[in-house]
Amino acid sequence: MLRLLPFHLTANIISAPLTLSFIETRHPVYGVILLIIIEILVLSYTFFIWFFQNTALSKKNFTIFTTLLGLCWASLPVIVFPNGSDQEQTLIAGDIVALIATSLSISPFFCGTVALATTMIVGCIVALFWAWLLQPDTLYVVLMMLLGIYAAFILGLGRAVSTLLQRYIITSLELEEQTEIVRLMLRRSDQSVGEWVWETDVSGRLTCNIPALEAIFQNTGNLSGKQFLTTLEEYVAAQAQWHHLAECIQSRLFFRDLIVSLRSTHSIRVFSLTGHPLFNNDEFTGYRGIGADITKDYALDQQASFRAAHDSLTGLPNRYSYEDFFRGALVRLSREHAPFALLALDLDKFKPINDTLGHAVGDLALIEISKRLQACVKNSDMLFRIGGDEMMLIHHHATLDSATDLATQLINEVARPLFIAETVIHCSISSGIALAPVAGSNESSLQEAADLALYEAKRQGGNTYRVFVPSYRAVADSRRDLIRDLREAIRTHSITLHYQPIINAQTRHLAGFEALARWTHPILGPIPPDRFIRLAEEAGLMHDLGVSLLAEACLTALSWPNDLWISVNISVEQLYHRNFIQEIKRILKETSYPPKRLQLEVIETIFMESDAATYGVLQELNILGIRIVLDDFGKGYSSLGYLRFFPFSKIKLDASFVRDMLSDSRSAAIVSAVIALAGDLGVAVTAEGVETEEYFYRLSSKGCTEVQGYLFGYAMPKERVSSFIEENCRKVPFFIQSTQPS
């Protein structure tokens, strides 16, 4: 408003003497009085604006000022126009019309525009009507009608301008507020309080000072120009955290809230780092991110994590802790050959206690029973409350005798009467025992064994235990002939590979190919991959088939450009084979294929159905430099715990979620959550089943790393891969003609 008002005031100051100089001969007294009043009004209001802005610009005062100013100018046509000469009438008409137009300059205060324009327009209409009375002429009537139209135009335009200017002012204020927030964050960074900005160049050297870190690295001086990762490595308190950060930066991945603990002089400080790679014309130029000292918040988070991992009623570890502890026991079983027993516990007929005595008494009974059970547990063992009156106990270094003795002790402790709220309560408990590795060596088999044993104990009346006894079931294979043909096909290398392209969703460059097995039976024709893969696993042929296909894939990919990788699926049977790692090393050596260009895809059920030795095998593959990809994420079991347990390089989002994401809000939410999860974990994510440009645009905008589907190409034989690479010039346009399925 202050920017526009000077123009309006200046127009009035200049117009007054110029206009009145032409009428002073016929109206000398009126002209002088009008000139003095207008000049006094304008100068007075200018004075108030300069010294008392808040008062001067109040709507009430401004409306009074514009009304008085409008009345002064409105008197000009009323007094001069009716009896004026043609020259005077023309001058007055032009002057008043121009002054009415200046009311638009004060439209931010629309009330002022209305007051000024309305008073002058009314004055003009009065003057025209008076002139018509003195000399009836249709010209005056036409002028009054035109003046009415002009008034409507000025007031309408003033309203529109007022609205637009108000929106502009509001937007400017919001922008200033956001800018101030950024300045505040940067100011806190400079003062080593809270957040701070970090940035590196293409070689990983810091391009700015970070006082918050320099205070910790007292002997390093100015950090600008020093290697970011190398400097952190000298003070890192947890090597695993640094390795994760290094892997993200070296792989040029976006990461968010990555925790790094650093040793200072007297304590360990915990920092949260967020960073994203910078690109200029697809050229990597460095990293930029934000760091924050979260030492206090981290301690609070640890307390919250403890509460999240423990049952609020009994204080026992809950189901989530049980799942993690169970997996850890399986890993020790594989690495250290440490047997353990899984005891499933369930209170007998506990529901009537809640129904007859109330849930409050039932809760007190659960608390007391939990204390009794916990007193029987050795330091190395762990008791968990799964939910309701169900509990699980993991007994380390177990034998059959130690497991049954422990179960007997637990049963006897619970059988002792409970005295709660002046009431004697008698409880009993049943237990099912599964010994590892006798009853199984993976989660599902052991859990099932313990549950079956518990069911048998319950069936016997409760207050007892049962040990799982495996029953062998003969599996009849009705497809014996097909398995025989499959064995022959493996021997003669009749099972071949086709290759489907995978595209970088952000740069739209070709990133690599996934190798997919194909078998055309001489009589039955093409056999679906899931069918003959399942047959190979049942017949024990999966290792030989996998080795043959892996060797073919590496040999084929060796002829591709050096930055293209090959992704090969591996099964549980392959990982379980004792010579799997040796075969991998042999293939890489014989084909001279770089391990860093090889990706091995495992499905999430591998952790639910395979032996715990799988973890060790995956770790060895990781050491070799081979990247591990978690395939079909979200299709079967929840894998969040496994993502935290093992550092996967990539996860592949199952095509079923991608296919439904545009029509189903739940699928869309899952897709967004998985992509966000991948960003938080610092791993890449590949979306399968991308068939249209709309899917691609949606996934790319969400931050998906890679895409795969018919939009970019069907699986093709190796003879067509080279031409595919050349035809697409390594960059895939959206209108690409997909190769036809083979």
What per-residue confidence (pLDDT) applies to 457? 84
Is the domain of 582 the same as that of 686? yes
Residue 416 confidence (pLDDT) above 70: yes
Q: Which residues are CB-neighbours of 686 under 8 A, at least 6 positions away?
A: 502, 629, 650, 651, 652, 653, 704, 705, 706, 707, 708
What per-residue confidence (pLDDT) applies to 26? 60
Residue 479 confidence (pLDDT) above 70: no
Residue 217: CATH number of its domain:
3.30.450.20
Q: Which of 109, 137, 172 is the last residue of a domain?
A: 172
Residue 520: CATH number of its domain:
3.20.20.450
Task: Report yes or no on 29 lying in a domain.
Answer: yes
Q: What is the pLDDT of residues 396-406, one digit of tens each?
A: 999 999 999 99
Is the domain of 616 the same as that of 676? yes
- 3-state DSSP helix/strand/coil percent for the chain, to nearest 5? 55, 20, 25
What predicted TM-score, i.e. pTM, was given to this entire model? 0.40
Least confident window among 116-125, 144-153, 632-641: 632-641
Q: What is the pLDDT of residues 258-317, one digit of tens each?
A: 888 888 777 888 888 888 888 877 788 899 888 888 888 888 877 777 788 888 899 899
Is the domain of 105 the same as that of 210? no
Least confident window among 48-62, 159-173, 256-270, 501-515: 48-62
Task: Report yes or no on 737 lying in a domain.
Answer: no
More confidently predicted of 725 and 605? 725
Q: How many domains does the chain have?
A: 4
What per-residue confidence (pLDDT) applies to 607? 62
CB burial string 469-496: b at 16+ within 10 A, e below: eeeeeeeeeeeeebbebbbebbeeeebb
Q: What is the pLDDT of residues 145-157, one digit of tens each?
A: 887 888 788 778 8
For the record, the structure tokens of 288 come out as: 């930029």
Q: What percent of the chain has pLDDT over 70?
A: 79
Is the domain of 560 the same as that of 631? yes
Averaged pLDDT, 44-63: 57
What per-residue confidence (pLDDT) applies to 740? 45
The domain of 78 spans 5-172
Task: Report yes or no on 357 lying in a domain.
Answer: yes
Residue 451: CATH number of its domain:
3.30.70.270
Task: Report yes or no on 485 lying in a domain.
Answer: no
More confidently predicted of 663 and 480? 663
Is the domain of 199 the same as that of 314? no
Is the domain of 277 the same as that of 362? no
Q: Which of 139, 172, 205 is the last residue of a domain?
A: 172
Least confident window among 195-199, 372-376, 609-613: 609-613
Is the domain of 549 the same as that of 679? yes
Q: What is the pLDDT of residues 552-562, one digit of tens each?
A: 999 999 999 99
Task: Report yes or no on 579 lying in a domain.
Answer: yes
What per-residue confidence (pLDDT) applies to 585? 94
Residue 576 confidence (pLDDT) above 50: yes
Q: What's the CA gap between 280 and 266, in Å, rounded?
A: 42
Residue 220 confidence (pLDDT) above 70: no
Is the domain of 159 the same as that of 58? yes
Q: Which of 300, 334, 352 is the last residue of a domain?
A: 300
Identity of residue 231:
T
Q: What percent of the chain has pLDDT over 90?
A: 25
What per-residue confidence (pLDDT) applies to 606? 67
Is the domain of 20 the same as that of 109? yes
Is the domain of 51 the same as that of 116? yes
Is the domain of 323 the same as that of 256? no
Q: What backbone phi and psi angles, to 5 degrees, belong to 488?
A: -65, -40
Task: Report yes or no on 32 lying in a domain.
Answer: yes
Residue 494 confidence (pLDDT) above 80: yes
Task: Report yes or no on 487 lying in a domain.
Answer: no
Q: What backbone phi and psi angles, to 5 degrees, belong to 627?
A: -85, 140
Is the domain of 217 the same as that of 281? yes
Task: Report yes or no on 556 lying in a domain.
Answer: yes
